[in-house]
Copies of this chain bind each other. A is one copy, B any other.
């Protein structure tokens, strides 16, 4: 692969001149510029970003750590993040932690060694202290890990409230809430808080089922839903914390002869496109995934440029009513 020296040689100028042409710096005569461009295209020259990054102490790399990019929510999130990153000149290093703390730690180290300019943390299996000692530019999703580290989330409480109140307003009297692991101390627990506030206030029966969300093992979802509906055949409302789970819930209802929404009403979360493949289509709480992507990249860029950023970033959610309610 050609270097800047080869180009300089072929163009009959110095490397400095080539560099100047490359970066549009200083004054350069048109003839020189032409010669340099000619040599560059003849040699198929591509500047070595490794060398540039080393010199500039800036790699234009962003690390993205998520549980699993094959989960529809994170797939869409990754796509949006990559889109905005590309627009702003950043490249994305993809890391799937599989919710494995050891892997997550290794990925963090790898990203530091790779001198990424920032890390987007969508996976949170480690203790807060570990993240705080990172000394890397960070943006986290749905988890608060320190006053000085920006996080991005949506209005989870409102999402939970909208979902639960919709079920209540439709007359549900025994509602199941299926959520992720509450020990992880994620902001998505506000959904559960809101659920509890709403069902208690309404005085209806309810139950809460925890699951490792993030789609690591879909077989587990099926089993979970099955035993839930068996143990509580009189459930008439389900608020799931992701559309994937809601889709399984819907399936299980239909399989067991329940009609949706007549016998059981279901609300999902995220509004990934999977919500529209189901029949009937899922009523769900739409998360602003595009906004997440845009903001994640922007928050990182601001930090990279040394500009102040707000640490609490909550975007709005929206109730999307479809066929399951």
B-contacting residues of A (Cβ < 8 Å)? 1, 44, 46-51, 53-54, 59, 64, 68-72, 75-76, 78-79, 82-83, 86, 91-96, 109-110, 112-115, 135, 215, 218, 244, 247-248, 250-251, 254-255, 273-274, 276-279
Please name the residue on chain B nearest to A282 by beta carbon: B277
- Rounded to whole Å, the gap between the CB of A258 and the closest CB of chain B is 12
- Rounded to whole Å, the gap between the CB of A244 and the closest CB of chain B is 8
Please name the residue on chain B nearest to A51 by beta carbon: B54
**Which one, B48, B69, B95, B112, contacts A75 given CB within 8 A?**
B69
Known: A50-B50, A82-B95, A277-B277. 20 other contacts (CB 8 A): A1-B112, A44-B135, A46-B112, A50-B54, A50-B59, A50-B114, A64-B94, A70-B72, A70-B79, A71-B75, A75-B75, A82-B94, A82-B96, A83-B96, A86-B95, A91-B93, A218-B273, A255-B279, A274-B277, A278-B279
Query: What separation, in Å, do the CA atoms of A219 and B68 have in the docked complex?
Result: 26
Q: B47 near A113 (CB under 8 angstroms)? A: yes
- Rounded to whole Å, the gap between the CB of A219 and the closest CB of chain B is 10
> Hey, which chain B residues are within 8 Å of A94, CB to CB?
64, 78, 82, 92-94
- Rounded to whole Å, the gap between the CB of A77 and the closest CB of chain B is 9
Please name the residue on chain B nearest to A281 by beta carbon: B251
Query: What separation, in Å, do the CA atoms of A218 and B276 have in the docked complex?
Result: 10
Query: What separation, in Å, do the CA atoms of A68 and B70 have in the docked complex?
Result: 12
Q: A69 near B79 (CB under 8 angstroms)? A: yes
Q: A82 near B69 (CB under 8 angstroms)? A: yes
Q: A75 near B70 (CB under 8 angstroms)? A: yes
Please name the residue on chain B nearest to A289 by beta carbon: B70
Please name the residue on chain B nearest to A106 by beta carbon: B86
> Hey, which chain B residues are within 8 Å of A255, CB to CB?
279
> Hey, which chain B residues are within 8 Å of A278, CB to CB?
277-279
> Hey, which chain B residues are within 8 Å of A110, CB to CB?
91
Query: What separation, in Å, do the CA atoms of A70 and B271 have in the docked complex?
Result: 13
Please name the residue on chain B nearest to A255 by beta carbon: B279
Query: What separation, in Å, do the CA atoms of A128 and B251 have in the docked complex?
Result: 44
- Rounded to whole Å, the gap between the CB of A128 and the closest CB of chain B is 18
**Which one, B1, B44, B76, B115, contacts A48 given CB within 8 A?**
B115
> Hey, which chain B residues are within 8 Å of A86, CB to CB?
95
Q: A277 near B248 (CB under 8 angstroms)? A: yes
Q: B59 near A54 (CB under 8 angstroms)? A: no
16 A-B pairs with C-beta separation under 8 A: A1-B115, A50-B54, A50-B59, A50-B114, A69-B79, A70-B75, A70-B78, A75-B75, A78-B94, A82-B95, A83-B96, A91-B93, A91-B110, A93-B94, A247-B277, A251-B279
> Hey, which chain B residues are within 8 Å of A218, CB to CB?
273, 276
Q: A113 near B48 (CB under 8 angstroms)? A: yes
Query: What separation, in Å, do the CA atoms of A75 and B218 have in the docked complex?
Result: 16
Please name the residue on chain B nearest to A254 by beta carbon: B279
Query: What separation, in Å, do the CA atoms of A72 and B49 have in the docked complex?
Result: 32
Q: B49 near A113 (CB under 8 angstroms)? A: yes
